Chains A and B, each alone.
Chain A
Amino acid sequence: MTAARLLRLGAVALVVVAAVAVPPFVGTGNQIALINIAYVMFLCVAWNIIAGYAGQFALGQPVFLAIGAYTSTKLYLAEVSPWFGMAAGAAISGIAAAGLGLLAFRYKVRGLYFALLTFASLLVAENIVRETDWLGGTVGLLIPLGDSAVDMNWRTQLPYYYVILVLLLLGTLVSWWVRRSTLGWRLAAVQQDEEAAPAVGIDVNRAKLTAFVISAVLTSCGGTFYAQYYQLVSPETVLSFDPQIQMLIGAIIGGLGTFGGPLVGGLLVGGFNQVLLFLPLSSQFATSAGQIAFAIFLLVMAIRAPKGVVGIYTSLRARVVRSSARHVGAKPDEEL
């Protein structure tokens, strides 16, 4: 048991060291690919906290992505460092999520209706921003070129890679902590049976609210990164349904509600998109073909394997362990 644990810790350490040490030597094209993959993984991890752990299928996360992106951009245009902008955006997102969550959970909006409420909030925000000249309207805001760490603005890819890698590691740690903390146990109870959870002394609304705020704050940080990296924020890119669909596909294919699921799913989705870009196809063909492949994959997984790739792995391993346990009398290992 300790040996298995050590082995796993070693594997995690190896992955982290490789993620830090290898990218300087892979060339600009691969660095761009890695940045995009890490960004998708980060969004999936953040969404999984509310939609997976808490079981509240939020469909308006791009609102927080946009709050992060627009807050830091407006501040940057007023010559405030995007690092501060990231913190400010995260704070505003946290407050916005707390407000929306308080209202929703106070009025017992749950399940399908929570999904629809958050979806409506996205449509409201998108249409307001489209009409607000101060935020650039439908065109959006351009971020001026620069080259300094204070401005989170570089002419090379590598620094951006490390920013998103740190965000991804932080998000993964938060996700791990949520899973392992008492909050995680409360959320698991809420996710399994919202009616029964109060009977064992769980403050359901508080647990859900905490998960929603954590998820929103993380998503918002991703928004600031997006703005600084792509140097453009517009309703089309950060405030449409598209980022939400990415989070959804990644987390569900990987395994909604598991710790490893959004990481695996984000890696698959982000990686596959990058592979398509490397193929000699027109960009429209590549995008559509990729989306069709994911649509079919998503459909099959949603119907056949609701716990995703990680769920398949866990149940396969449980079967192997069970059959070997008959011989040696060992206990099945804990779930991933």
Chain B
Amino acid sequence: MTLSLLEQSLLAGLVVGIIAALVALGFTLVLGILGIVNFAHGNQLMIAMYLALYGSQALGLNPFASSLIITPVMFVLGLGIYAVMMRWLIDKPHSTHVAGTIGLMLLLENVVNLVVGGTPKTVDAGFSSASIAIHDTYLPVSRVLAAGLAAVAVLALYLFLRRTDLGLATRACADNFQGARVTGLRINRVFAVSFALSVAAAGLAGAALSSHQTMTPFVGHAYLSTAFAVVILAGAGNILGTIVSGIFVGLVQALTQTLFDASIGTAVLFVLIMVTLLVRPQGLFAR
């Protein structure tokens, strides 16, 4: 491997990793606070990709502009999903969580498949051929912008959880649920906001990804497994760990992809996940 190829794949990995961190943050928020593994997380991202496609085709907006509309729309969608199904799942056993969210996953992807059809689609972001030169490697502008947008969102989510009262309440629920309830927190509101934020994060990531990734109604599975890998490595509900491990997973994927190929990279990653689940289920970055 030449030095510039190494540099190229490291940069590509960083871009993938920052977006993976955003997707995984949403996933870990729901896992840490509601205690639910959301198998539909990738499909929520897929919905946002199709919204971005619609924004581009019908309104002529590029995905970065439409992300400003898509993210709040997804937040509201999240509140809706929470009200209709998530809140009924919370006090049920894990098997019910898995069954319920797999139900949601099937529902979302098949509704999209029915409405827009299964053919792969791409958004013309308007500058798909333009690249930015960094040292002697080139990165497409759309990828750099997507990663930048994701980085801003990751930072905003981090500051929300660390600096605001609602963020504090959210973390209190994740740390000690009974204790938080005893202090009189409005648990249901914290749950609803966390879930909606998680969907909004997936939505922003989806809009950003649509600028340079192909979409199909079933694309959510790939993003779900990445989020799942990041969160297992970090430990459920660990915010800072999730950011670090998102970037780590992005780099691992990009490097193995350069050295071997994508499938072997994924296989290696999930062997690592299995080992983590066996010997360190609290995650590599747990305190």
Contact = CB atoms under 8 A, between A and B. Distances in A.
Contacts of A119: 228
A127 B94 contact: no
B99 A302 contact: yes
B76 to A, nearest CB: 20
Given A248-B99, A256-B95, A289-B114, A299 B85 contact: yes
A115 interface: yes
Interface in A57-110: 57, 59, 103-104, 107, 109
A204 B258 CA distance: 45
Contacts of B96: 302-303, 306
Given A107-B279, A109-B277, A116-B37, A285 B107 contact: no
A245 B264 contact: no
A299 to B, nearest CB: 4
Contact of B100 (A57, A113, A128, A299): A299
Contacts of B103: 294-296, 298-299, 302
B271 interface: yes
A296 B114 CA distance: 15
A128 B264 CA distance: 6
A112 interface: yes
Interface string B237-277: 00000000000000000000000010110110011011001
- Range, interface on chain A: 35 or more
A295 B107 contact: yes
B267 A291 contact: no
A104 B275 CA distance: 10
A106 to B, nearest CB: 8
Given A295-B104, A295-B107, A299-B104, A288 B114 contact: yes
B207 to A, nearest CB: 24
A94 B266 CA distance: 25
B89 interface: yes
Interface in B48-82: none
B122 interface: no
Contacts of B102: 245, 248, 298
Contact of A57 (B95, B221, B267): B95
Contacts of A285: 114
Contacts of B107: 292, 295-296, 299
A159 interface: no
B214 to A, nearest CB: 17
Contacts of B264: 127-128, 131
A120 interface: yes
A2 interface: no
A128 B114 contact: no
A39 interface: no
Contact of A284 (B85, B95, B118): B118
B8 to A, nearest CB: 23
Number of chain B interface residues as a range: 35 or more
A127 B92 contact: no
B106 A241 contact: no
Contacts of B131: none
B253 to A, nearest CB: 12
Contacts of B6: none
A116 B171 CA distance: 24
Nearest to A290: B110
B196 interface: no
A123 to B, nearest CB: 5
Given A123-B270, A303-B96, A298 B106 contact: yes
B232 interface: yes
Contact of B106 (A109, A112, A291): A291
Contacts of A241: 221
A197 interface: no
A101 to B, nearest CB: 12
Nearest to B107: A295
Interface in B82-102: 85, 88-89, 92-100, 102
B4 interface: no
Contact of A294 (B89, B106, B118, B279): B106
A296 B97 CA distance: 14
A295 B110 CA distance: 9
B277 A116 contact: yes
Contacts of B267: 123-124, 127-128, 131
A158 interface: no
Nearest to B99: A302
A116 B114 contact: no
B188 interface: no
B167 interface: no
B182 interface: no
B179 interface: no
A291 B105 CA distance: 10
B225 interface: yes
B113 interface: yes
Interface of A: 51, 55, 57, 59, 103-104, 107, 109, 111-113, 115-117, 119-121, 123-124, 127-128, 130-131, 241, 245, 248, 252, 256, 284-285, 287-289, 291-292, 294-296, 298-299, 302-303, 306
7 contacts: A116-B277, A120-B270, A284-B118, A291-B106, A296-B107, A299-B85, A302-B92
Given A55-B95, A57-B94, A288-B111, 18 more contacts: A57-B95, A104-B278, A107-B279, A112-B94, A112-B98, A115-B95, A117-B277, A120-B232, A124-B267, A124-B270, A124-B271, A127-B264, A131-B261, A248-B102, A298-B99, A299-B104, A303-B89, A306-B93
A-B pairs, top 9 by smallest CB distance, nearest first, are A295-B106, A295-B107, A127-B267, A298-B103, A299-B103, A302-B99, A291-B110, A288-B110, A127-B263
